[in-house]
Structure formats: C-alpha cells, structure tokens
Amino acid sequence: MPIKIERLSLVEQVVTQMEQLIESGHWKIGDRLPAEMQLMKEFGVSRNTLREAVGGLVHAGLLETKQGSGTVVKSSSAFGVALHRQIEKSSVMETLEVRLALEREAAQLAATRRDELDIESLTKAIQLCRLASEKGDVQEFLQADILFHKAMVKASHNTMLERIYEHITEPLRSSIEEVMMAAEDFRYNGEVHHELLEAIKMQDVQAAISHVNTYINGFREKIELIQED
C-alpha cells in the first residue's frame, strides 16, 4: 500500500518560514515586520496567503498587530507562548514543583559538566545577590538571584533544559517577588547558594541535589504561610 505524503499548503510553508526567521533571531522581539508587498515578493505568495499566515502567527502569539505600528514580533517561539499560557493557568505551587524538577536536574548535570566559565558566572551572580541584599534592593536581588539559577542551568550544558527554563524565568521571578514582598524581612540566604556553588565546584552531585531540595522546600513553606494568612 503506497504511503500518503502530507504536503504543506502554501500558508503552512509561509508560517514555517516566518517561524524560522523569528526563532533564528533574524526577526527579534519588538521588531516590526517588513511591508506587506516586500513579504509577498520574498515568499512568492499572494496577499491573501500572506495575510492568512500572519493571522495564524498572531493567533499563536508569535506576532502582534498594533494600530499604527503594523505587525511586530511578540515572542521568540511558539513553544514559549504555549508554555506561558499553561503557566498562567497553573498555581504558584504547580510552577514551583516544575521549578524543583528542572533545577534539581540542572544541579545534577552542572555538578558533572561544569567548567571554569560556569563557576565564574555562578560566583559573580552570588556576589551580586550579596550586594543587593546589603543595599536592601529587592528588585536588584531578584535579578541577581535569577541570574544565578540561569547560570546553573547553563552549566548543565543541556540546550533543551536551558531553553525550557528560560521560558519559565519571568513567571518564576513573579512568584519569588510575591513571596519576598509579603515577607516582613528581606534577608539574603547566602548559605544555601554558597553551599550549592561549592557542591557544583567539587562535582558533588548528591550535595548539589540536596541543596536544591533545601531551598525549594524552604520557599514552598513560605508560600504556604502566606497563603494561610
């Protein structure tokens, strides 16, 4: 029995090409798309085909049509959009559980694969956290704290894990900010991050996993206390 080959329609082909231009960074977030006539010529399609393709990407969340500004790039990937939509439907605790799973795996891989550049990035992030804490600057601390976690994920040298984590960074930051703003005192818990860094340095996988469990569970307890109040 002959195998039926599915052929992409013209609209699907244009959508695929436009997604590739966005994901490759050729069109960056905030960029306005070229004029309609230019795109029609570039893709070799009619106005209706182009508009249908653009409409599909607007619906998917990659593009956004703004009055007076034309069509601009809203997100760097369809995967990111889908993940953000799911996170919006999820509770803080569910997001935290996903964070635990990702960071636990990242810590384990980082302890095995880290290099000197990774150690430098992690150390710098901890120093920035400490400086922000000394100034009592919550926003600056949050930026440095996220920087530390992203550096740890990068040290895993797993591009898929890094990509997934990148897309939960903003909702993760929001959940951390909510807890810190609700807390009466703002103190940098330097020991946890310092010990995690040391575990990664020494390539102690079990210690790295243990430290991730410790700070995530501590964070979970704070969320539960706030929700009870």
Residue 1, pLDDT score = 52
What residue segments make up the domains of the chain, in order of their start? 10-76, 80-228
CA atoms of 200 and 209, how far apart (whole Å) = 10
Each residue's pLDDT expressed in tens, for the chain with a length of 229 residues: 554 444 568 899 999 999 999 988 899 988 999 999 999 999 999 999 999 999 999 988 889 988 777 899 988 777 777 777 777 777 777 877 888 899 999 999 999 999 999 999 999 999 998 888 888 787 888 888 889 999 999 999 999 899 888 877 766 666 666 666 655 555 554 445 889 999 999 999 999 999 999 888 887 787 777 666 6
Which of these, 18, 137, 29, lies nearest to 84 by C-alpha position? 29
The residues that bridge with 72 in the sheet, in sequence order, are 32, 64
Residue 227, pLDDT score: 65
Report the phi/psi class of residue 23: left, alpha or beta, with left for phi > 0 and alpha for psi in -120 to 50: alpha
Cα–Cα distance, 171 to 87 (Å, whole number): 7
Q: Do the beta carbons of residue 193 and residue 129 sit within 8 Å?
A: yes
CATH class of 80-228: mainly alpha
CATH architecture of 10-76: Orthogonal Bundle (1.10)
Distances (CA, A) of 191 to 12, 96, 158, 188: 52, 21, 27, 9
Is the CB of residue 119 less than 8 Å from the CB of residue 200? yes
Q: Minimal CA–CA distance to 34: which of 10, 75, 70?
A: 70
Whole-number pLDDT of residue 103: 92
229: nearest Cα among 181, 182, 175, 178: 182
- pLDDT at site 190: 46
What pLDDT, on the 0 to 100 scale, is given for residue 46?
94
**Amino acid 3: pLDDT:** 47
Cut 0.75: pTM above it: no
The angle formed by the CA atoms of residues 107, 110 and 113, to the nearest 5 degrees, is: 155
